[in-house]
């Protein structure tokens, strides 16, 4: 089975641009998560979907961050407009719905905002 895939792996944007990151979860997984990873803050939850429904939307990230789940096998994270402080690695993860199931992470997208 394919794991979680994310594209692009690297993105460089100018301040004020709109960028869209993409994620494909593990086939059959109902839960999908977006995280931001920085050295200072570690892993921060941005969004959580269950069966395409938004379950949690990280409060601090609502203004310029919008995650969508277009179908059960594809999700996007839009950042609009980008700011230099958004430079980070953005990770997507998926898991089965119930129980003590682990989350499987994708390789991440490293975003640099100039």
Site residues for another protein per CB under 8 A: 4, 31, 33, 41-43, 45, 48, 50, 55-56, 91, 95, 97-100, 102-108
CB of 10 to another protein, least distance (A): 11
Structural tokens at position 111: 């975003």
Q: What is the DSSP letter of 52?
A: T
Contact 96, 51 (CB under 8 A): no
Q: Which residue(s) pair with 68 in the sheet?
A: 76
Contact 26, 109 (CB under 8 A): no
Query: CA 109, CA 92: separation in Å to the nearest integer?
Result: 9
Closer of 13 and 108 to another protein (Cβ)? 108
CB of 114 to another protein, least distance (A): 22
CB of 105 to another protein, least distance (A): 4
Closer of 44 and 68 to another protein (Cβ)? 44
């Amino acid at each position: 089975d394919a794991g979680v895939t994310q594209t692009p792996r690297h993105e460089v944007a100018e301040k004020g641009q709109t960028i869209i990151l993409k994620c494909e979860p593990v086939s059959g997984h109902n839960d999908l998560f977006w995280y931001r990873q920085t050295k200072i803050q570690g892993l921060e939850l941005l969004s959580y979907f269950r069966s395409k429904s938004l379950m949690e939307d990280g409060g601090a990230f609502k203004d310029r961050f919008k995650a969508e789940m277009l179908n059960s096998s594809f999700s996007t994270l839009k950042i609009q407009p980008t700011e230099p402080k958004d430079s980070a690695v953005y990770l997507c993860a998926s898991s089965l719905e119930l129980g003590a199931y682990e989350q499987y992470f994708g390789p991440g997208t490293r975003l640099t905002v100039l």
